[in-house]
Amino acid sequence: MDTFEINGVVTTSQIDTAIDSNPSKTGAIISPARRIIYLVRVDGTIRAPSLAKLFDKGVLLASALDPDFLSRQNPSTNGFVDMDFSVPTTDTTEYPTGLVPSRYRVRPRNTVVPADSMYTGTSAFFAAEFLLRDPRRVYQTLESRVGAGTVDNEGNTYAGVVVSIAMSGAGQAGYVVDLNGDGVTGPTLDLSATINGDVIVIDMDAGTVTKNGVDAITLMTSGTFFDIPPGSSTIGITNGTNATTTIQWRRSWTI
């Protein structure tokens, strides 16, 4: 009788697509769909041994899930923090415990204020809505490999990729990191002006390139950013002189 209780979880996706009428025939012209955000609503109950403890717990919940406070405390992420949980699965080969360690990156949509009622005694209902700017569920473990080769995304949707390049000297003008090892797709960088100790980071999801933590998008001379699809893929590296490349990703799921 002294707990925070979760009674239900409801999720909602927001899809971005453009729909126009077909100018010459019956039907419509519809653009590709992209999930842009994900909303998670958690309904619960606060239970306490006394009214005083009930109000203390309400204040605690409201302060912990206040988007203004979280934004001030986490300015580099605009208030988004990790919500870790587990999802049951029958795949005990990959997940021996029968649970998939999972993560959402969330920020409360509003301040959570428990309901006051004369009918609930020393309990109070609450509803917390969480906003996900990345609508995917991701694996808690960050997976990685050094150099070109196979990467496995055991999830069921596209996984974001971060490429870190540690330089031991001047690189080449046509450095390429690509998906499926074709030497063409993926970002092409000019690393000819780099020196020993430089670290280049390509965040495919964010669409950024940094050098020693400073924006360096001008190093990218051509190509496109990519995600890792479900299943097994091959990462290729071309013109990797003096460049040690580390690929990092998290397997991802639609929900």
**CATH code, 171:** 2.60.120.860
Q: Are residues 111 and 19 in the same domain?
A: yes
User: Is the domain of 131 the same as that of 151?
Assistant: no
Residues 105 and 43 in one domain: yes
Residue 44 CB partners (closer than 8 Å, separation 6+): 4, 5, 6, 7, 125, 126, 127, 128
The answer to whether residues 126 and 190 belong to one domain is no
Specify the number of domains making up the chain: 2
Residue entry with tokens 């001047």: 170
Residues 90 and 208 occupy one common structural domain = no
Work out whether strand 208-211 and strand 199-203 pair parallel, antiparallel, or are unpaired.
Answer: antiparallel
pLDDT of residue 242: 97
Q: Last residue of some domain: 135, 150, 177?
A: 135
Do residues 15 and 83 both lie within one domain?
Answer: yes
Q: Indicate whether 119 and 148 sit together in one domain.
A: no
CATH of the domain at 54: 2.40.30.200
Distance of CA 85 to the CA centre of its chain: 14
> Which helix H or strand E contains 63, and what residues bound it?
helix 51-64
Residues 6+ apart with CB under 8 A from 197: 167
Residues 76 and 11 placed together within one structural domain of the fold: yes
Q: What is the DSSP letter of 142?
A: P
pLDDT for 185: 76
- Residue 94: other Cβ atoms inside 10 A: 9
Mean pLDDT split into 10-residue runs, the chain, 255 residues: 94 92 91 92 97 96 95 95 96 96 96 92 96 94 94 92 97 93 82 97 95 96 93 93 96 93
Contacts 24+ apart (CB under 8 A), 216-223: 219/189, 219/190, 219/191, 220/187, 220/188, 220/189, 221/173, 221/188, 221/189, 221/190, 222/188, 223/176, 223/178, 223/184, 223/185, 223/186, 223/187, 223/188
Write the DSSP assignment of 162-199 as a string of letters: EEEEEESS---TTEEEEETT-SSSS-EE--TT--TT-E
First to last CA, the chain: 32
Looking at residue 227, its pLDDT comes to 92
- Distance separating alpha carbons of residues 95 and 117, to the nearest angstrom: 44
Residues 13 and 130 in one domain: yes
Token pair 């980071």 in the structure block, residue: 201
Give bridge partners of residue 4 from the DSSP assignment.
Answer: 46
In a shared domain, residues 47 and 128: yes
Among 79, 108, 135, the domain-final residue is 135
Same domain, 105 and 171: no
Residues 137, 153: contact at Cβ < 8 Å? Answer: no
**What pLDDT was estimated at residue 180?**
84
Same-domain pairing of 59 and 156: no
Which residues span the domain enclosing 17? 3-135
Q: Domain boundary residue among 100, 135, 170? A: 135
